[in-house]
Structure 1
Amino acid sequence: MISPPKMSVSLLLVGMNGNGKSSTGNSILGKKVFTPRGSNASGKEEILAGSSIIDDKEIRVIEGPGIGETNVNDPEDVKLTLSHVKDAMLLGAGGFNAVIFLLRYGVRFTKQEKDTLSMIKAIFGENVIKDYCVIAMSFGDTFDSDRAENNMSFELWCENQKGDVKNLFDECGHRYVLFNNKSTDQWALRIQRDMLLSIVDKLQPINGPYSLNDYDKAEPGRRRLLVSSKLQLLEEENQKVVDNINET
C-alpha cells in the first residue's frame, strides 16, 4: 500500500504570457502538464493545475492567468481576470505557499511588467510580493550562453541590477532562482527545482500559507481595480461625446 505524502506545497505561477510560466511549471513538476501560451495569448485561457510527488511531498502547481495582458480600462476584462484568479485559488485547495513570479532573462523590464506587479498587489494584497513572492528567472539557457562569455554567476548578476528590477529583488527579499527549462540534464533540472522548493520551505515558518482569508482581506484592492476600470471607460465615452459635439 502506497502511503500518502507527508505534506503538500502549492505554488501559484504568475507573470506575463511568454515569460515561461508553462515551461517552468513543467520543470517544477518534472513532467509536461502545461502548454506554453506564448506572448500573444489573451490571458483568457482555462486555469490549469498539476501535481507530482517529490521527496514525499505533493507539489501542486497552478498556472495563473496572464495578469499582465488584462486591459485595466475594460471592466469586463478585469472581471474575467478576477474570476480566473479565484479559480486559481480554488485549484490550490484554497490558497498557496508561494507566488512564483516569472521574469524572462535577456528582456528589458518594461512598464507592463511593473503594472503587472501593481495588479498582483491589488488582487492579492499590498504585501504579497514581500511575504510570498519568489522570482523564477526563465530562459536560463540564454543566461548560460552569456555567462560563458562574461563568467558572471546568476547571484552576482542579480546583485548588479538597478532601477525597477533592483527594487523588485529588494522587495521580495532577494528570493530568486534561475530556470533553464530547455535543459535535458536531469540533475541540473532537479537542482533548480530543489533550490526553489527550499526557498518556499523557508517562507512557511514566517508567514504560513496564503489563504482564502488573506484573499478576502484583499477585497478592497480588487474593488478599486474594478471601479477604476469603470471610471476610465466612462471618461472614454464622455470624450467621444465631446468629440462628436466638436465635429458638429
Structure 2
Amino acid sequence: MSLSKEIKDLQMMEQNTVLLLIGKTGSGKSATGNIIFNDRVFESEMRSSSVTRVCQKHTGSVSNRSVTVIDTQDFIFSTHTEFDSDSELKKALELCSPGAHVILLFLSLGTFTEQEMDFISWFEQKFGAEALRFTLVLFTHADQRHMRTLAEMIRANPQLSGFISRCGQRYHEFNIKAAANRRQVTELMEKIDRLVTENTNSRYTLEMMKETERRREEEKRREKERKEREHQMILDTVKRETEIRVRREYEEEKERREEERRETELQITLERVRIETEMRVRREYVAGKREKARLFTWMDVHEGFFYWRISINCRSFDRDFLEIDVEESVYPFIFS
C-alpha cells in the first residue's frame, strides 16, 4: 500500500462523513440506512404509509470510517396530520450540523411515476441548484427494473435524464432486498468518498437552504411586481384608448351638431331672403300698377354660389301671360 493511500485512509477514518437521506415514503431510506450500518438502527417496514415520523440520527463505523446518517420523513407526500415540512426539514439540516457532505436522494425503480418527477421538482426548488453538487441519486428496489438496465431506464425518461445530468451523472443502484450483499454498500461508499473529495470536504448547510428561500422569495416578489406592472400597463392602455375613442366620438358628434346648426341657420336665412325678395318684388309690382301678377321663386347655383331666381308671370291689358326674369333681383350666398 502506497504512503498516499495510507494517508487518505487515515484521513477517512478520522473524518465523520454526514449523509442526509431524502425520499418519498416507501423509497427505502430507513432500510438503506440499516444496510449501510449492517444493523437495525432505524425503524423500517415495507408499506405505503410512512414509518419515520421524526428525523432520526445515527453515527457508526462503516468500512473503517465514521459515518453519520440522518433519516428523514416524507416531506412532500406525508400523510401525518399537523406536519410542518419546512420546520421538519430545517430540523433535519440542524442534525447535520455543520452540514451534510452528501445528500442521498432516493428514487424507487419499482414505482417510478409522475409523483417521482413531482418529488424531484420539489427537491430542486426547495434545496436549490447549489444542493445538486452534493447530491447522489440512489435508485432502490433494483430487483423491479424488469430486465432493463438502469442506464436504459434513465435515457427513456428525458426529465429524469436531465436531472441526473444536473447532478453530475452521479447515481447508484441499490437492492434493499439483498441486505447481505456488502459489495453494494462498498461501491456506494466509494462513490460517496469521491463526491466528498470533489467538493473538498465542503457541506450543504442550513444557511444554503435559507439563502435559496430568500432568492425564491425575491424572485416571487419581482415576478409579482412584473405582473402588476404589466397589468397596470394594460389598464393604462385601455384607459388611453377609451379616452381617445370618447374624445373622437365627442368631436364627431359636436361636428355633426354644428353642421346641423349651420344648415338650419342657412335654411332660415334663405327662407327669410326669399320672403323679403317676394315682398319687395310684390311692392315693385304694385307700385308699377301691374295687375294679376303671379310671382315664382326658386334657388339656383352657379360657380359655388346659391342664387334666388325670380320669375314674374303677369297679364297686361292688351296681351296674354308674359314671363319675365328679374335678374336684378338676385341675391348671392356662399356656403362654407
User: Do the structures match in fold with TM over 0.5?
Assistant: yes
From 119, 127, 149, the counterpart of 1:124? 127
Asked if 2 retains the 8 angstrom alpha-carbon contact of 1:125 and 1:221, the reply is no
Question: Aligned partners of 1:222 and 1:91: how far apart in 2?
Answer: 24
Question: Aligned partners of 2:127 and 2:163: how far apart in 1?
Answer: 16
Counterpart secondary structure, 1:95: coil
Question: Displaced runs of 4+ in structure 1, greater than 6 A?
Answer: none
Map of 2:209 onto structure 1: 215
Question: Aligned partners of 2:78 and 2:110: how far apart in 1?
Answer: 23
Counterpart secondary structure, 2:58: strand
From 167, 174, 182, the counterpart of 2:169? 174
Question: Aligned partners of 2:215 and 2:161: how far apart in 1?
Answer: 25
**Could you tell me the percent identity over the aligned residues?**
24
Question: Aligned partners of 1:135 and 1:220: how far apart in 2?
Answer: 26
Structure 2 CA distance for partners of 1:209 and 1:153, relative to 1, 3 Å: same
1:104 positional shift: 0.8
Mapping 1:189-228, distance limit 5 Å: 190-207=182-199, 208-220=202-214
Structure 2 CA distance for partners of 1:56 and 1:181, relative to 1, 3 Å: same
Counterpart secondary structure, 1:100: strand
Question: Aligned partners of 1:8 and 1:61: how far apart in 2?
Answer: 10
From 31, 34, 38, the counterpart of 2:42? 34
Question: Aligned partners of 2:31 and 2:16: how far apart in 1?
Answer: 21
Counterpart secondary structure, 1:68: coil
1:102 positional shift: 0.8
1:175 positional shift: 1.2
Structure 2 CA distance for partners of 1:42 and 1:220, relative to 1, 3 Å: farther
1:59 is the counterpart of 2:51: no
Structure 2 CA distance for partners of 1:35 and 1:41, relative to 1, 3 Å: same
One-letter code of the match for 1:108? F
Q: Which stretches in structure 1 are left out of the alignment for 5+ residues?
A: 228-248
Map of 1:136 onto structure 2: 138
1:94 is the counterpart of 2:98: yes
Question: Aligned partners of 2:116 and 2:98: how far apart in 1?
Answer: 27
One-letter code of the match for 2:98? G
Map of 1:83 onto structure 2: 87
Q: Which stretches in structure 2 are left out of the alignment for 5+ residues?
A: 1-11, 222-336
TM-score (norm 2): 0.54
1:128 positional shift: 1.4
Question: Aligned partners of 1:34 and 1:13: how far apart in 2?
Answer: 12
Aligned length: 206
Question: Aligned partners of 1:34 and 1:102: how far apart in 2?
Answer: 16
TM-score (norm 1): 0.71
Q: Which has the larger radius of gyration?
A: 2
Asked if 2 retains the 8 angstrom alpha-carbon contact of 1:16 and 1:39, the reply is no
- Higher RCO, 1 vs 2 (CA within 8 Å, ≥6 residues apart): 1
Asked if 2 retains the 8 angstrom alpha-carbon contact of 1:109 and 1:165, the reply is no
Asked if 2 retains the 8 angstrom alpha-carbon contact of 1:50 and 1:61, the reply is yes
Counterpart secondary structure, 1:88: helix
Structure 2 CA distance for partners of 1:9 and 1:33, relative to 1, 3 Å: same
Map of 1:68 onto structure 2: 76
One-letter code of the match for 1:119? W
